[in-house]
Amino acid sequence: MLRLGRQEFGEHETVVMAIVNRTPDSFYDRGATFLDGPALDRVGQAVAEGAAIVDIGGVKAGPGEEVTVAEEVRRTVGFVAEVRRRHPDVVISVDTWRHEVGEAVCEAGADLLNDAWGGADPKLAEVAARYGAGLVCVHTGGAAPRTRPHRAAYDDVMADVLRTTLALAERAVGLGVRRDAVLIDPGHDFGKNTRHSLEVTRRLTEMVETGWPVLVSLSNKDFVGETLDRPVKERLTGTLATTAVSAWLGARVYRVHEVAETRQVLDMVASLAGRRPPAVARRGLA
């Protein structure tokens, strides 16, 4: 069982987490949801299309202009409070590595802290424990926040992923984070080259078999672009193919830009696996 905010998700239930970037320089949307109005519209659309979680980020993952703690708080806290007011049942996640931001957004109503830089600030897990929030534990290969990988090398990339994420997850539980509110994430692209990201995808069952729910953030990432030699805006097909494989292998939560398309892929895989009946079954019955 996975419990986040007011929601409980069954053992085989797949969950869509919609990305809402409160940044002017996102690699994908280039600031389309930086302002409150478009960002709130994005949340409403995502929920209508089947997202159970919205993931709000105030700092671009890659290199760029410095964003202070105060500016990250300004971009996220009031917005979290308004999303909480408008959508009381949606799970609100905030993508941050800073404990000061984590504290402020939890005060505003966030349910989940997406620690995408893998424990760079150890106090963030303490914040999650103190507020009863969930935590995403991500593998980054030790990369510092907002840096790109340079000659990343592993003897066994999945062994490193497991060692790191399981240690982060157990530490979080030891601090008081509920075990059923902790997820692990292999960190596609983070501290990895394209071959590493492809390998951790092929070997996702090794993460699933640990019993921790697995979150994957695949959407339009560089490993998809390099694999198919496609620019950012032409990576949807590759993303959805990777999503289908990840779902077949047992990943539970999908952090995405395209909610409706992802939800259809996840539902189709669930039906192929025998866990979901067809929405309509008229063929051959007339």
What positions carry a catalytic annotation?
Answer: 221, 255
Q: What is the dihedral of CA 28, 34, 35, 39, to 10 degrees?
A: 60
CB 23, CB 63: distance < 8 Å: no
The DSSP element (H or E) to which 3 belongs, if any, is strand 2-4
Beta bridge mates, 17 = 53, 255
Whole-angstrom distance, CA of residue 243 vs CA of residue 127: 31
Neighbours of 258 (CB within 10 A): 20
189: alpha, beta or left, given left = phi > 0 and alpha = psi -120 to 50?
left
Alpha helices (runs of H) in 10-50, residue ranges in sequence order:
36-48
Tokens of 190: 């983070």
Neighbours of 218 (CB within 10 A): 25
Q: Which residues touch 169 (CB under 8 Å, ≥6 apart)?
A: 137, 182, 184, 212
250: alpha, beta or left, given left = phi > 0 and alpha = psi -120 to 50?
left
